[in-house]
Chain A
Amino acid sequence: MVGRRATRWGWLAFLALALALTGDRLRLASPDPGVLLIAHTLTAASERAVLDDLIREFEAGRPGTRVEQLILNSEVYQTVGWRLLMRGRRPPDIYFLWRGYKTSDAIDRGLALDMAPHLDPTVLEDLVPTAVLRRGNAIYHLPQSIDISNLVWVNRDLLGRAGLEKPADLETWLEACRQLRAAGILPLIQGNRDLWPIGNLAAEFLGQELGTDTLDRLFVPGEPVGPEVMAGLAPLARLAEEGAFDLPGLMNRGAIAGFGDIDAKVFFLTGRAAQHIVGSWLLADVEDAAEKGALRFEVGLFPVPPAPHQSDAITAVTTGWMVHAETPDPQAAVDLVSLLVSRRYQERFARLGGLSGRRDAEEFTGAPLARKALEILRNTPVWVSPPDTAYAPDQARVFYDLAGRLAAGRLTPADAVDLWNREKRDLARKGL
């Protein structure tokens, strides 16, 4: 009897000890006015090193304030991560976002602080005005970088071997792809497993044909479109038809649908394809490969060429920082954002391939390819937003799916109109 009682007390004591040891770890997070929480997707070690230095400097200048980072993979952050963070007990004080649908949503839902009252006016003077998100006099989003979503990255050696130059327009580009293929070279390596690479390219083709206003209307929920709208996707279908994305023995026709974007990047950087269409963020990988001596060819880039009758458009998105409306110390949070967009740190991010949203970006952007990308940004009159950042996720997803089918040769532009309208009707029935 005594032994059983002792065992029982022993178990209770063990339980109490276990709770005491884990209790603090199980404690739910609660806002701490001394801690600034910053959520972002800067996962590369080189980018994190810059951010760590910045945070150290900030903390040194503001004793008693500590900065904690919430680092998420870009795909997770963009889809579900950001939303979950905002619903949590401890939302971040400062958060990274792609400008567009999500930033509008954050402002509409009262999750964004108007930074204007806390911002030093000189900070704004240094930034490209269109890169700053304003509503009236309120300022909600300051730029970390401007990403061009589609650039045609070329292997100059392979292009030269086929006797080709940078194409002047869409027709010469398609002709160049035909010639590359005839020379046994894969013209374009694209991985569209996750749909966004071709979705962004399709948006650019449409932007060139229609301009941003008509493109915006395409994504209005429940509104059907006519064949003239989808005609802008013809270049994508032609690229697929003429075999720009495949080569017998190397890539099967339609394989683009199962090939990952990272696989495609590696494929290109190892010199197995003449061209690769992806955003300006490839700059960092090109620099990285060159530094490691793994790049065995000369890389060039040009924007996706428009047809003669089309306007010159690029797909670009501003990434940047927002401050949570309920942050306990708005001044500290805005000061940290100001440091993030300061020349000193933007210069360091630019060295890693970032295209800064500062007016003086060209002065400190040294890498020739990055300078070229900045020049493209400056000289292109029409900017189209990537659908997954600009529009409601359900509408964007249908468009990406449609573009993926076109590129894999499973859909024609004529059928695309029916599919798009049918999918939009279905979304409307779901209340989306």
Chain B
Amino acid sequence: MTRRGQLLFFLPALLLFAFFVLLPATETLWHSVHRHDGGETGYVGSLYYRYAATDPKFHQALGNNLVYLVLTLIFEVVVGLGLAVALEREGRLNHFLRIVFFAPCVLSLVVIGLVFGFLFKDGVGVFPGMLNESRALLTISVISGWTYCGLFMVIFLAGLAGIPREVLEAAHLDGAGAWQTFWHVKLPLLREVLYVALLICFTGAFKAFDLFWVLAPNQDHTSIVSTLLVREVIHFDNKGYGSTLAVLLTLLVLLTVAVLLTLRRLLRGARTSSTHAGP
């Protein structure tokens, strides 16, 4: 394809990206350093960023995001990996179970939130008290895990299917048991898939919104950065601080991705040097 042709293909996507992502993102950045009072706008510099640094609500929300991240890592990635390994073999029952575990993932999180919200509602629900202050974050993480472990199962199943059969047979001939094969053969070969899964899980944990908004609105103990920023913008009409939180959230997601990619590069480097260090 000619250079002009490449540009022609690239241009519509670039225009859409610029219009729907870059432009609003730039506007958000601009809003984060401006105060909006009715129809009037004034420059406030780093006021909202300084405020965020000492805002206990933001700290609590960030803490909740981190706890949620760890919990979803367990309930989504670890459980998804377990399911993939357990249901790896071809067979009718396994095919059926794969569908069962994947099914919740196609539902809207708002619908899931409403259904579970009803189940957990005090006074009328079957399991009241699950959204109490001490349990809400764990409950939401479990629901999220129930929803998405199927998706991670599918990702890991694809990774497992890509492992060369000869390698597994060699391990079997060497007398490796199921656990040893998983730990020493499958898991190292799933490393790239694992990075992708971690990337999805980590960014998802920071982007989470729906379940928290539906199941526990207006509750400080379960607020996360995204719900806090929506509250600031919608309920407080404070576009400036809301935009600041949005910028900080974006930076956090980017930082997480950067950390993951750096770790991946470092581990790759270590692996390559250990291979070269051999006789």
Contact = CB atoms under 8 A, between A and B. Distances in A.
B121 A258 contact: yes
Contact of A255 (B51, B128, B231, B233): B128
Interface string A395-407: 0010001001000
B238 A430 contact: yes
Interface stretch (A211-219, A246-254, A309-317): A246-254
Given A258-B121, A258-B216, A252 B128 contact: yes
Given A252-B128, A430-B51, A393 B218 contact: no
A331 interface: no
Query: Which of A83, A404, A430 has the largest number of chain B CB atoms within 10 A?
Result: A430
A129 B237 CA distance: 32
A261 to B, nearest CB: 12
Contact of A263 (B124, B216, B233): B124
B238 A394 contact: yes
Given A79-B234, A430-B238, A252 B217 contact: no
A426 B235 CA distance: 16
A83 B129 CA distance: 37
Majority DSSP secondary structure for residues of A touching B: helix
B121 A254 contact: no
B139 to A, nearest CB: 11
B218 A401 contact: yes
Contacts of B241: 430
A401 B47 CA distance: 25
A194 interface: yes
Most chain A CB inside 10 Å of its own CB: which residue of B44, B218, B220? B218
A430 B48 contact: yes
B55 interface: yes
A267 interface: yes
Contact of A259 (B123, B220, B236): B123
B145 interface: no
A431 B47 contact: yes
B235 A251 contact: no
A259 B39 contact: no
B46 interface: no
B246 to A, nearest CB: 15
A2 interface: no
B256 interface: no
A259 B131 CA distance: 11
B130 to A, nearest CB: 10
Nearest to B57: A426
A258 B235 contact: no
Interface string A3-14: 000000000000
A363 interface: no
B181 interface: no
Interface in A82-131: 83, 105, 108-109
A109 B123 contact: no
- A83, A108, A267, A429: most-surrounded residue (chain B CB, <10 A): A429
A404 B218 contact: yes
A384 interface: no
Nearest to A105: B38
Contacts of B236: 393-394, 397, 432
A22 to B, nearest CB: 15
B207 interface: no
A258 B55 contact: no
A75 B38 CA distance: 20
B122 A426 contact: no
A226 to B, nearest CB: 24
B250 interface: no
B132 interface: yes
Contacts of A195: 218
Given A105-B38, A254-B132, A430-B48, A194 B217 contact: yes
Contacts of B80: none
Nearest to A195: B218
A80 B123 contact: no
B150 interface: no
A193 B122 contact: no
A252 B129 contact: yes
A397 B240 contact: no
A267 B123 contact: yes
Interface string A237-275: 000000000000011101101110001000100000000
A254 B233 CA distance: 28
A267 to B, nearest CB: 7
A252 B122 contact: yes
B82 to A, nearest CB: 32
Interface in A179-214: 193-195
Contacts of B231: 397
B219 A250 contact: no
Contacts of A83: 237
Contacts of A432: 236, 238
Interface string B40-52: 0000100110010
A377 to B, nearest CB: 29
A429 B51 contact: yes
Interface in A388-428: 393-394, 397, 401, 404, 426
Contacts of A258: 121-122, 131-132, 216, 219
Interface of A: 79-80, 83, 105, 108-109, 193-195, 250-252, 254-255, 257-259, 263, 267, 393-394, 397, 401, 404, 426, 429-432
Interface of B: 35, 38-39, 44, 47-48, 51, 55, 121-124, 128-129, 131-132, 216-220, 231, 233-238, 240-241
24 contacts: A79-B235, A109-B38, A193-B218, A194-B218, A250-B123, A251-B122, A252-B122, A252-B129, A254-B132, A255-B122, A255-B123, A255-B129, A257-B219, A258-B121, A259-B121, A263-B121, A263-B124, A267-B123, A394-B238, A397-B231, A401-B218, A426-B51, A430-B238, A432-B236
Given A259-B121, A259-B123, A397-B231, 17 more contacts: A80-B233, A80-B234, A105-B38, A109-B39, A193-B217, A251-B122, A252-B123, A252-B129, A255-B123, A258-B132, A267-B124, A397-B236, A401-B218, A430-B238, A430-B240, A431-B35, A431-B44
